[in-house]
Chain A
Amino acid sequence: MSNLPPMINLAKPIKSKDKTLHPVLRSLLTFAVIIAIWQAVVIVFKLPAFILPEPLSVFERLIARYDVLLKHSWVTTQEIILGLLLGLSMGLCFALQMLLFKPIKRWLLPILITSQAIPVFAIAPILMIWLGYGIASKIVMAAMIIFFPVTTCCYDGLKNTPTGYLDLAKTMNASKWKMLRHIQLPASLPTLASGIRVAVVIAPIGAVAGEWVGSSEGLGYLMLQANARMLIDEMFAALFILSTISVGLYFITDKVLKKLIPWEA
């Protein structure tokens, strides 16, 4: 009985060492496997370069055209991040209004649902006309596409504050504002965080789709141009950078959220 705890302590590190690799190593391994399969497909099926380029030629293109790619990546990154900020603050405001003014909720909810029923891609051309070919229309696209998940998550989080917390605050004579600030908002953070995670992943879709419809810069624009000139390796290079941005953004957000919300389950 007395030597049970040390045995457990011994067993744990061995087990964790056995079964899990370092996450960075794991993603590198996954990456290498995908590249290998890609190369194998090209070799086995003898695909011509304009259908599926070799990984190496994509890599070469990545290096040769890094200045162009970098410039367009910067534009798209801006669109994604500003779109995220806009969409998040809009969603937050919307959710707060629905929470604080019950009658408004009845009027706002149909608008919210309608905004989701119209495909964002369908109104993209209209946004181009209204907001021009610059980055403004893409920011709005990205914001619109994340608006719904953010709003619903935030509203659910705010609405489902444990009644015990609210009761306790009431017995402490908290005002409506203090209750919101000190109880409801922090209690909603874990739910809001999952909304933000979803938003970070889908915001790039809005930005790139906006660029396809009409733009003069950005990775989406670069891909259309490369497509028209049959530069498949450049398309793949742009695609590679785009996914790197998305994944990087997700991991950074995830890290930040975990740091900010340590009590999240």
Chain B
Amino acid sequence: MLSMTNKHSAKQVPKQTVLNEIKAPSLDIKDASLRYHHSEQYVLSSLNMHFPAAQWTCILGRSGCGKSSLLRYLANLLVDKVTWSGQLSTSTNLPLQNQIAYMAQQDLLMPWLSVLDNVLLSEKLSNKSHKTGKQQKSLHITKAQQLLEQVGLSDKIHYLPQQLSGGMRQRVALARTLMQNKPVVLMDEPFSALDAVTRYRLQNLAHQLLKDKTVVLITHDPQEAIRLANQLYIMQGQPAFAESLTVPDSQIPRSFDTQSASLQQQILDRLEQDYE
């Protein structure tokens, strides 16, 4: 096992030669509404949002308010299931479809694949991969190993997911997301199932590793939103619309101070209104 690692890491390759970085775009949603085909009720309406480029946007809201629907729409998972009207544009004018990576609440690691192979999943599933040669493949493996090292799991690459703890598994999922190297990362409460300290450390890690990406993070946890958000939205009402809140102008990930405490109170007040 150890000799394997050494063999691969011997061929150090600069990152740029593997995959060229695509500049992260900003996203804009203007006057959008969304309705599932099977229902008369609109889930979202008069939705206006701006996701700044290479920054974190956090979305808070009551469960079932439609934030996951929004994220799944952006992830292109609701094709043929919903009617969408309104404008969705990217600053680079490229279609969103090939620019996103998706991270869900469950880590979604395939139990039959080793940690390394899970990280390499996107390469395995992508349509071009059958043409890639041996050299390309070993480049991918090197890249995956670098990523696993960055998330602190370089000694676990041949483990199966079920041998890892919840925090480790979500770190593998993070490495898998990074492996996709997409400019936009959509996250649906990826840290919510973890204990407080693990969550704290994973937030820091994710923030550090996703620095140059446009991140959309859905969360239930006001503290998480306050720690990580460059841009903060609360979704409420039925059908739901989004309201922007001003966030403190401090270094992210933020440490907790009086400013963030008052923001948390503000968030909770808003959220509570929606429950009535």
Chain A positions within 8 Å of B, measured between CB atoms, are 162, 164-165, 167-175, 178-179, 182-183, 186-187, 189, 261-263
Contacts and interface: CB of A to CB of B under 8 A. Distances in A.
Given A169-B125, A182-B125, A164 B106 contact: yes
Interface string B2-38: 0000000000000000000000000000000000000
B110 interface: yes
Given A167-B77, A171-B77, A179 B125 contact: yes
A176 to B, nearest CB: 11
Majority DSSP secondary structure for residues of A touching B: helix
A165 B127 CA distance: 17
Contacts of A170: 76-77
A173 B112 contact: no
Interface string B105-146: 010101110000000011011110000000000000000000
Nearest to A166: B77
B101 interface: yes
Closest 10 CB pairs of A and B: A263-B111, A174-B125, A171-B102, A172-B122, A186-B112, A172-B125, A164-B108, A168-B108, A178-B125, A171-B75
Interface residues of B, number: 25
B98 interface: yes
B81 to A, nearest CB: 12
Given A164-B106, A167-B104, A172 B160 contact: no
Given A171-B101, A173-B98, A182 B124 contact: yes
Contacts of A262: 160
Contact of A263 (B104, B106, B125, B162): B162
B248 to A, nearest CB: 32
B45 interface: no
Contacts of A173: 97-98, 125-127
B180 interface: yes
A263 B97 CA distance: 33
B53 interface: no
